Structure 1
Amino acid sequence: MIDLHTHTNCSDGTDSPAQLVNKAIAEGLTVLALTDHDTTSGWESAQKTLRGDLSLALGAEISCLTNDGISVHMLGLLFDGAHSQMQEMLENTRDGRIPRALKIIELLNAGGIKISIEDVESVKPAGATLGRPHIADALVKNGVVSSRDEAFTDLLHNNSPYYVAHLAPTPEDAISMIRSAGGVAVIAHPFASLRGKVLSAADFLPLKIAGLNGIEVNHRDHSNDERSALADIARELDLVITGASDYHGTGKLNSLGENHTHQGQWERLESEADKRRVIRA
């Protein structure tokens, strides 16, 4: 079983990298991709915990914005973690999350919802990439909502009056950087309409031209019709079809391995990186 999209407490998940690896082994996964938001800080710990038949496909989920202001997440897998320009892009994207969080908090306060950046920092694991899920956790702690899911449904979704975009690379720029660093690029949950405005079918050709390798088709936030439409786009553009859990530990309902990638699709995706960077025990 191959799961190509997961998170740890190095970003907005709740498991440490070691705990994630241990759970993947217990679940019988054969390939696990570690894709924390805009960071590679969990790579070393995951590698130290690796054992048995599990292989690691190290990567990151890069926050992007189209020129039209649509939020897009790009999975970069199997890239060179020492690539300086890639690390600079990730750092710049992380830095942009701080003023964004402060603005969201300001808007929430103006709406009569009490929360502070100190509240957010108190629930965020040390060193983790700051994100809206940590604001959600602070809202839970303050008794405003009962869960992360409720926070996003009621207050933090992309169409909310409290939503704030942040500085981020375009999807094309992120793809170009991933490929320059020797990796492969897979667009994550591109038709997840419940999260807000999404791409159209016509938007995928420019991404293919930019170097996109695959589309995450099978994801819990895609309906059956959305999965079918994305699979058609992938076949038309000769892109790899992936599936993944987008696992966040207890931060989301998603279960590890609940969607997965076919072995043949994974082998093709891996072959499109400039080097074989899968980590094995």
Structure 2
Amino acid sequence: MIDLHTHTNLSDGTDTPRELINLAMAQGITTLGISDHDTTSSWEEATNALRPGMDLVLGAEISCLTENEISVHMLGLLFDSENQALQDLLEESRDQRIPRLKKMVTLLNDAGITVSIDDVHSATPAGATVGRPHLADALVALGHVSSRGEAFTELLHNDSPYYVSHIAPTPVTAIAAIKAAGGVAVIAHPFASQRGKILSAQDFAPLVAAGLNGIEVDHRDQSASERDNLRAVARELGMVITGSSDYHGNGKINRLGEHLTSPQEWEKLEAMATARRVVRK
């Protein structure tokens, strides 16, 4: 069982890295990928918690924007964490999150939905990459909504009047940085239309030219028809096809291991990194 896309409480998940490792091992996951948003801060604890019987694939999910402001998430896996250029890119992405959230807080307050940036910080675990999920948690704590999911459905989705776009690298820039750091790049849930604007099939050509390695096809936010269309795109372009849970603990309904990557596809993807960086004990 190979699940290459999960999150811990060092971004917007709710499990600590150690808790996630323990859960994955208990559920029979054989290869687990941890890709927190714009950070590698979970790597050390996850590595220390790992025990024999499961492989650990370390990475990060990089927040990107296309030139026409379509939000794209790029999974960077198996890269060298000591690569300063990539770490600088991740830091720049994190630094943009606070100004963005302050603008969203202002819009919510203007609409009579009272929340402060301090409330957001209070809802963010120590050391975590702050983001919209923590604003959602603050809204839950204040009684405006009943759950993080309701906050996104009603107030924080990409087409919401309270949504603020963020300054971020383009997908091509992110791919280049991942590849320069020796890793592999997989675009996450690119046809998930329920999240907002999505790429078209024609948009993949420059990503492939930049070095894109794979496409996350099997994901709960993509409908059956979207998965079928995306699988056809991936096959036509010669991309590795992945499936992942995008597990966030209690932060989302996604179940660990609900979508998986086949061993054959994972073998191809791992071989594309410049070094064997899978963690084993």
2:249 matched to which residue of 1? Answer: 249
Which structure 1 residue ranges, 4+ long, deviate > 3 Å from structure 2? none
Deviations 1:211-260 (A, max 9, x none): 00000000000111000001000000000000000000000000000000
Deviations 1:9-33 (A, max 9, x none): 0000000000000000001011000
Counterpart code for 2:257? G
> How far did residue 52 of structure 1 move?
2.2
1:93 matched to which residue of 2? Answer: 93
Deviations 1:66-124 (A, max 9, x none): 00000000000000001000000000000000100000000000111000011111110
1:42 matched to which residue of 2? Answer: 42
1:8 matched to which residue of 2? Answer: 8
Query: Is 1:222 aligned to residue 205 of structure 2?
Result: no
Provide structure 2 residue ranges, at least 5 long, that are not aligned to the other structure.
Answer: none
1:279 match: secondary structure: coil
TM-score (norm 1): 1.00
TM-score (norm 2): 1.00
2:69 match: secondary structure: coil
Distance 2:104 2:187 in 1: 26
Q: RMSD between aligned alpha carbons?
A: 0.4
Distance 2:180 2:165 in 1: 26
> How far did residue 143 of structure 1 move?
0.2
Distance 1:111 1:66 in 2: 29
Provide structure 1 residue ranges, at least 5 long, that are not aligned to the other structure.
Answer: none
1:28 match: secondary structure: coil
1:1-281 residue pairs with structure 2 within 5 A? 1-281=1-281
Sequence identity of aligned pairs in percent?
A: 64
> How far did residue 151 of structure 1 move?
0.2
May I ask how many residue pairs the two structures share in their alignment? 281
Counterpart code for 1:249? G
